[in-house]
Amino acid sequence: MAQDQTTANQDWSKIETKAQGQTVYWNAWGGSELINEYIAWVGKRVSEDNKITLKHVKVTDTADVVSRVLAEKTADKKTEGSVDLVWINGENFASMKKNGLLFGPFTENLPNYRFVDVENKATTTTDFTIPVDGLEAPWGMAKFNFIYDSARVDKTPNSTAELLTWTKNNSGRFTYPSPPDYLGSTFLKQVLVESVKDPKVLRQEVTEETEFKKTTSALWSYLDQLHPTLWRDGKQFPVSSSAQQQLLDDGEVDIHLSFNPGAASSLIKSGELAPSVRTFVFDKGTIGNTHFIAIPYNSSSKEAAMVVANFLMSPEAQARKQDPQYWGDDTVLSIAKLSPEDQKIFADIELGVATLSPQDLGPTLLEPHPNWMERIEKEWLRRYGQ
């Protein structure tokens, strides 16, 4: 599991010195202009402060990055890896950890890690039931939510069961991105968690086919009822979350999916969605998690990658990230651990007209074990894939 602990445990000033002049190839999802602009700003800041060159390698599916690093390990490529930093969580983290593809543990050596709210945000140390073990640094909180156009929707559904009733009464006005798009897969998780009698069973790896079939039968029954009521009769699905966002903006559907409670306000501000757009969640809760950054075992810019990871957890970077003007993503930090000056920066952030307050976001439902989703995505493609 651990790789090159000498590098990870160096004195921080030595890490900063070695980081100067290094180039970091950061493989990160590139499907949002707002997020791409934020990453570009990070690049500007680490260049100014640390003389690091940050290259954003825009990714559609993080699983492709995992496959590339795994191929490099198979080819015994111990240095000069193509990936220096990767935006990651869930099954992709589980796969990299299992296959020994990660550098570290390194997170507790990052000076800004002391501000992380590990006490109250359990998902900063446990990723989809898998212990983080210092192999990835948390940099954002996510909560599944629904973006809708209030000019076209009067009453929003309050559960996946109510959503099914809503789609039957509003045929063609809802859809979800085709898995393995992360929002499409999360929608399946939401249905799954609501449909099982005891969600705790989902926190363990599923090994028996009979158990998988029994536990997921209600999910497939739900989807079989839902799909004929969807956009294009459920015979075609948006290829990505950005494609579904466009459908909402074009008036083809009334509801969009998001993992960022501040997304609607951000998209209104940027002019990408109508001012009438708002956010809703379910009373009994929606799926929530933390997203992270990790360093592959064969990066030749590990010091610079650690400096970038540290900057991403800084109050400066986290406050900008929480501001809907720049992203609208909830912080991993404990505000109570910050200086009065930094606390004020967070307090002054205008969350935006379409952003629910933390207390209105409802309970957080835990992610299933990654192994469930690997099987569910394959089965979904077998049943419904074009």
Written as six digits, the tokens of 91 are 């099954």
For residue 199, say if its preceding peptide bond is cis, omega within 30 degrees of 0.
no
> pLDDT at position 127, please?
93
Return the top range by mean pLDDT from 75-79, 304-308, 357-361.
304-308
Q: What is the average per-residue pLDDT within 209-223?
A: 97
Residue-averaged pLDDT of the chain: 94
Q: Report how far residue 291's alpha carbon sits from residue 197's, in angstroms, rounded to the nearest whole number.
A: 28
Instruction: Name the one residue in this structure whose structure tokens are 């897969």.
Output: 185
Listed range (21-30, 172-181, 326-335) with the worst mean pLDDT: 326-335
Map out the domains of the chain with their CATH numbers: 1-142+289-348 (3.40.190.10), 145-288+363-385 (3.40.190.10)
2 pLDDT band, cuts 50/70/90, is very low
Written as six digits, the tokens of 79 are 């240095």
SS3 for the chain, per residue? Answer: CCECHHHHCCCHHHHHHHHCCCEEEEEEECCCHHHHHHHHHHHHHHHHHHCCEEEEEEECCHHHHHHHHHHHHHCCCCCCCCCCEEEECHHHHHHHHHCCCECECCHHHCHHHHHECCCCCHHHCEECCEECCCCCEEEEEEECEEEEECCCCCCCCCCHHHHHHHHHHCCCCCCCCCCCCHHHHHHHHHHHHHHCCCHHHHHCCCCCHHHHHHHHHHHHHHHHHHHHHCHHHHCCCCCCHHHHHHHHHCCCCCEEEECCCCHHHHHHHCCCCCCCEEEECCCCCEEEEEEEEECECCCCCHHHHHHHHHHHCCHHHHHHHHCCCCCCCECCECHHHCCHHHHHHHHCCCCCCCCCCHHHHCCEECCCCHHHHHHHHHHHHHHHCC
Instruction: Name the one residue in this structure whose structure tokens are 């000033």.
Output: 13
Rg (CA), the chain: 21
373 pLDDT band, cuts 50/70/90, is very high
Q: Report how far residue 160's alpha carbon sits from residue 285's, in angstroms, rounded to the nearest whole number.
A: 11
Contacts of residue 64, Cβ cutoff 8 Å, sequence gap at least 6: none
- In tens, the pLDDT along 91-126 reads 999 999 999 999 999 999 999 999 999 988 889 999
| Long-range Cβ contacts of 231-234 (<8 Å, 24+ apart) | 231/172, 231/173, 231/174, 231/175, 232/172, 232/175, 233/172, 234/175, 234/384
- In tens, the pLDDT along 45-59 reads 999 999 999 999 999
Nearest to 369 by CA among 93, 60, 161, 99: 93
> pLDDT at position 293, please?
98
Q: Is the Cα dihedral 125, 92, 255, 194 positive or negative?
A: negative
Listed range (19-23, 345-349, 362-366) with the worst mean pLDDT: 362-366
Is residue 293 within 8 A of residue 102, CB to CB? The reply is no
> pLDDT at position 4, please?
62
> pLDDT at position 69, please?
98
Give percent of the chain with pLDDT exceeding 90.
84
Q: Is the Cα dihedral 190, 127, 139, 103 positive or negative?
A: negative
Listed range (140-149, 208-217, 335-344, 349-358) with the worst mean pLDDT: 349-358
Give percent of the chain with pLDDT exceeding 70.
98
> pLDDT at position 58, please?
97
Q: What is the average per-residue pLDDT within 358-383?
A: 90
> pLDDT at position 8, please?
85
> pLDDT at position 129, please?
87
Question: Does position 1 have pLDDT exceeding 70, yes or no?
Answer: no
Q: Report how far residue 162's alpha carbon sits from residue 160's, in angstroms, rounded to the nearest whole number.
A: 5
> pLDDT at position 386, please?
65
- In tens, the pLDDT along 180-203 reads 998 999 999 999 999 999 988 998
For the CA atoms of 60, 65, 67, 69, what is the dihedral angle to 10 degrees?
Answer: 170
Q: What is the average per-residue pLDDT within 253-272?
A: 92
